[in-house]
Each structure stands twice: as C-alpha cells, then as structure tokens.
Amino acid sequence: DTAVSQTPKYLVTQMGNDKSIKCEQNLGHDTMYWYKQDSKKFLKIMFSYNNKELIINETVPNRFSPKSPDKAHLNLHINSLELGDSAVYFCASTLAGSYEQYFGPGTRLTVT
Amino acid sequence: AQSVTQLGSHVSVSEGALVLLRCNYSSSVPPYLFWYVQYPNQGLQLLLKYTTGATLVKGINGFEAEFKKSETSFHLTKPSAHMSDAAEYFCAVSGAANTGNQFYFGTGTSLTVIP
C-alpha cells in the first residue's frame, strides 16, 4: 500500500493555465506539507497543514493555494502558471511529535 | 532558528571505499536530525534519524551517522560503497513542535560511485 501518494506524477502545461496537484496519505498522520524542489535539487517548504489548519505558510506567490479537505488529503492549486513554477513538488506527512516526515513520489511540473 | 550546511555538493568514491557525507547544523533548540536519500526520479526515503539517546545511529542499507553536539555535526558514513548507493543525499534538522515540525533541509550531496 502506498503511504503517501500524489497525482499526477507528471504535469506539462502552458503558461497562464491553472492546475492542481493532489496528495493523499493513508498513515493516519495529522500534519501534511508541500515542498518545492528546484532544478538544483534544493528543497523548500511551501505550506504545512495540521488537522486541516494552515500552520506554515512560507513566502510563496499567492497564485499557490493549498486546500486540505480532511486530514488525509492536501491539494495544491496553482493559478496563472509561470515558467519559474517548473519544479518537482513533493507532498509529505507526519504525526505531530514524531518528527519524521514521509514523502510522496513527487509531481514533476513543466510549464512551457 | 535552524539551518543545515552540507559540505560538498558532489562526492565521488570508488566502489568498496568509505562513504563520508558531511552535515553541520545550527539550532536554537535540541535538534532532531535526519538523513534522507533520493534516487533518480523518486521521492525522499528516510535513511536514519537522531532524536534522543545513543548518538551513533544506524540506518538502512548499511549507513550510519553520529550526532556530535560539540561539533554541531551529523555526518553520514558507510564503510563500503556499492553502485546502488549512487543518489542524492539530504541532511535535515527539525526542532520543536511549535515550529510545526518544520524541516530545514541542506542543499543536498550527489554521491557518485565509480566502478
């Protein structure tokens, strides 16, 4: 069983479009994250949700909007895509107090 | 505030040689330290972690790391490199729950194993 899953795995789209990435975890965790990994492999946290409540919101353009319908899901919607949004986006989850994060396989977003 | 520095963005070793990947951290609270590995086109997989207790921690695939508070280091080692160890390695630090269990990752070290 996949612990943290993301869909889609690959996403190719044009500038100006709006797209969503979905994440689901079946680990019973209560905290979920979105990370962006750029072409140089640098990992930067974007958002964190705990029990559907936003607790970390790093400086990212407001074109990015996370949504957590329940503890097991955290989606990322991106409006008006730009070339610089091309990256691999990782979802992760953890149980508060465990300090260990489990990562999804990533979504490679390419904006043309 | 917390941060991680990984010395050496690229490390090459011969198959069978010692692997040493360096990680130094700064943290204003007792740190929790992690090493993750990322194989090409895959997500991050936990290799090992230090939270409390024994400072020498053993992980998967023969890797281990030692927490040295006096040196603020958490270097990753493996006695004998295998070709399958070629990957990107990330060191990370996490602090207290009031940071939302936020991880701070290093910039990564790409390990190449030469046959």
* Higher-confidence position of B31 and B115: B115
Cα of B33 to nearest chain A Cα, Å = 9
Q: What is the mean pLDDT of residues B32-49?
A: 92
Q: Show the CA angle centred on residue B35, arms to residues A1 and B59, nearest 5°.
A: 70
**pLDDT the model gives residue B37:** 96
Q: Is the pLDDT of residue B98 over 70?
A: no
Asked whether the CA dihedral B72, A41, A103, A59 is positive or negative, the reply is positive
Name the residue among A40, A43, A50 with its Cβ closest to that of B100.
A50
Q: Is the pLDDT of residue B58 over 90?
A: yes
Of the pLDDT bands very low, low, confident and very high (cuts 50, 70, 90), residue B99 is: low
- Kindly give, in sequence order, each residue whose CB lies less than 8 Å from that of residue B79, ignoring residues fewer than 6 positions away: B18, B62
- 3-state SS track over B21-69: ECCEEECCCCCEEEEEEECCCCCEEEEEEECCCCCEEECHHHCEEEEEC
What is the per-residue pLDDT across A71-101, written as a single tens digit (0 to 9) for each? 999 999 999 999 999 999 999 998 877 778 8
Please tell me whether the peptide bond between A66 and the residue prior to it is cis, using omega within 30 degrees of 0. Answer: no
Q: Is the pLDDT of residue A57 over 90?
A: no
Name the residue among B43, B100, B107 with its Cβ closest to that of A103.
B43
Q: Is the pLDDT of residue B1 over 80?
A: no
Mean pLDDT of chain A: 91
Q: Does A104 touch chain B (CB under 8 A)?
A: yes
Of the pLDDT bands very low, low, confident and very high (cuts 50, 70, 90), residue B96 is: low
Query: What share of chain A has pLDDT > 70, as a percent?
Result: 98
Mean pLDDT of chain B: 90
- Kindly give, in sequence order, each residue whose CB lies less than 8 Å from that of residue B58, ignoring residues fewer than 6 positions away: B48, B64
Chain A residues 30-89 with CB within 8 Å of chain B: 31, 33, 40-43, 45, 48, 50, 55-56
**pLDDT the model gives residue A1:** 63
Cα of B94 to nearest chain A Cα, Å = 7
What is the per-residue pLDDT across B12-22, written as a single tens digit (0 to 9) for each? 999 999 999 99
- Whether B105 contacts B3, CB under 8 Å: no
Of the pLDDT bands very low, low, confident and very high (cuts 50, 70, 90), residue A49 is: confident
How far from each other are the two terminal CA atoms of chain B, in whole angstroms?
41
Q: Test B107 with A101 for CB contact under 8 angstroms.
A: no
* Higher-confidence position of A2 and B33: B33
